[in-house]
Amino acid sequence: MRREIGEQGAAVAATLEEVRRQAGRARAAMSGRRRILFVARGSSDNAAIYGRYLVETQLGVPASLAAPSVATHYRARLDLSDTLVVSVSQSGRTEEIVEVQRWAAVHGAATVAISNDAESPLATEADVPLTTQAGTERAVPATKSYTSQLAALAGLAASLDGGESLWPLLDRAAAEVSRLEEGEAGVADAVDLLAGSDETLVTGRGLVFGTALEVALKLEETCLRPVRGLSYADLRHGPIAVVGPGLTAVVVAAQDGPMLGPIAELARDLAGRGAKVLAVGGDAVLAAAGACHVPGPDLPEPVAPLALVVPGQLIVESLARRLGLDPDSPRGLSKVTTTDPA
């Protein structure tokens, strides 16, 4: 896992280049369509959440996430002739996702498949296969395949009408991934904090909400502890009532954007309730609100997620070792995931 964290800058750069070569095909697939529907599970779903916010906020195209069972179990007949369906699966072989993509095509959608295997059924059956350039990922927890998915999603957005201005930001993002994968600042303190914590939640909002969910999922899968990922808003809307001493709250944020002020205020509120706050990314104000701070990328919010997850991965990998666990092969997980056992 540690080595693959270090391969992400190169994987992101190569993926952006590959997607850019396919930009014309992606643009053609979207032509005449009004909305984008993402299909994914697990880490890929966390990537797709970023894709949804990016497409709605930067392109002004309505986007949403599919409920796969609507296709696979209820076999609903939806008119998707106005829709571009974007399926995301590292292996390209997760049966449920392949089935939803087939269903979408039958119901009129144009299809884009983001996978790490150009020979997979998901890729070969799609109108536009976008192949992430992560290479073989040996560790079970997704790292470089996840950041490559983010790169492919952002590259796809940059390929569509209104997204062109994202390209130069994405070149910067690849460089920031490379820089942060060597980052040690704050990681040891963060691991101390988390190792001594009874209960952990991770929160974020808007464009970085998917990052918060991904850090939560990685913490849980790799460190074998229950960890909750919650949006800022859902946390404020009720569960904040149960926050108190014993809880460590990981708060992730970009360095700018409309969410930064509110999330720093949330961090202060959580600290005021006795929680230990670990701030990842953000600015000096957020850093000051936390008991511990791990710096994030120097990137504007729309592309920050590509690199903001990297400090989170470093924390997870290091925490797993501290706890005497094997971060490369956590108990009970396999690489090609299955929703319904055969």
Binding of a second copy by 276 (CB under 8 A): no
* Angle at alpha carbon of residue 256, lines to 252 and 262, rounded to 5°: 60
Q: Tell which positions 67-126 bind a second copy, by CB under 8 A.
A: 67-70, 73-74, 76-80, 82-83, 96
C-beta closer to a second copy: residue 59 or 156: 59
Question: Minimum Å distance from CB 132 to a second copy?
Answer: 19
- State the Cα–Cα distance between residues 170 and 200, nearest whole angstrom: 32
Cα–Cα dist 33/305, whole Å: 27
When binding is defined by CB under 8 A, the residue of 31, 124, 165, 338 that contacts a second copy is 338
Q: Contact between 330 and a second copy (CB under 8 A)? A: yes
CB of 118 to a second copy, least distance (A): 24
- Considering only residues 280-309, where is the footprint of a second copy by CB under 8 A? none
For a second copy, the binding residue among 129, 163, 206, 281 (CB under 8 A) is: 206
Q: By the 8 A CB rule, do 151 and 15 touch?
A: yes
The reply to whether 163 sits near a second copy by the rule CB under 8 A is no
Contact between 317 and a second copy (CB under 8 A)? no
Nearer to a second copy, 21 or 34 (CB): 34
The backbone region for 323, taken as left when phi is positive above 0, alpha when psi lies in -120 to 50, beta otherwise, is: alpha
Residue 195 in the binding site for a second copy (CB under 8 A): no
Smallest distance, a second copy to C-beta of residue 230, A: 10
Contact indicator for 85, 109 with CB cutoff of 8 Å = yes
Residue closer to a second copy by CB (options 52, 93) is 52
Per CB under 8 A, 52 contacts a second copy? yes
Q: Could you count the other beta carbons within 10 Å of the beta carbon of residue 95?
A: 17
Distances (CA, A) of 151 to 57, 67, 147, 226, 255: 17, 23, 6, 28, 19
Q: Which position among 6, 10, 62, 102 is part of the footprint of a second copy (CB under 8 A)?
A: 62
Q: How far is the CB of 271 from a second copy (least distance, A)?
A: 15
Q: What is the 3-state secondary structure (H, E, C) of 186-230?
A: CHHHHHHHHHCCCEEEEEECHHHHHHHHHHHHHHHHHHCCCEEEE
Question: DSSP letter string over 311-341?
Answer: HHHHHHHHHHHHTT--TTS-TT--SS--SS-
Does 53 participate in binding a second copy (rule CB under 8 A)? yes
The residue among 324 and 332 lying less far from a second copy, judged by its C-beta, is 332
Q: Which is nearer to a second copy, 70 or 185 (CB)?
A: 70
Alpha-carbon distances of 120 from 26, 45, 96, 117, 324, rounded to whole Å: 19, 19, 14, 5, 35
Would you count residue 259 as binding a second copy (CB under 8 A)? yes
332 lies in the site for a second copy, by CB under 8 A: yes
Give yes or no for residue 329 binding a second copy (CB under 8 A). no
Task: Supply the DSSP string of 250-300, one letter for each residue.
Answer: EEEE-SSSTTHHHHHHHHHHHHHTT-EEEEEES-HHHHHHSSEEE---SS-
Does 183 participate in binding a second copy (rule CB under 8 A)?
no
**Candidate segments 23-31, 110-118, 177-185, 231-239, binder of a second copy by CB under 8 A:** 231-239
Name the token pair of 21: 């070569």
73: which residues sit within 8 A by CB, 6+ positions away?
A: none
Q: Is 64 helix (H, G, I), strand (E, B) or coil?
A: strand
Backbone angles phi, psi at 304, to 5 degrees: -55, -35
Q: Is 3 in the site for a second copy (CB under 8 A)?
A: no
Select from 225, 268, 322, 335 the one that contacts a second copy (CB under 8 A).
Answer: 225
Bridge partners of residue 275, in order along the sequence: none
Q: Catalog residues that contact a second copy under the rule CB under 8 A.
A: 34-35, 37, 41-42, 45, 52-53, 56-57, 60-62, 64-65, 67-70, 73-74, 76-80, 82-83, 96, 199, 205-206, 217, 220-221, 224-226, 228, 233-234, 236-242, 258-259, 262, 265, 330-333, 337-341
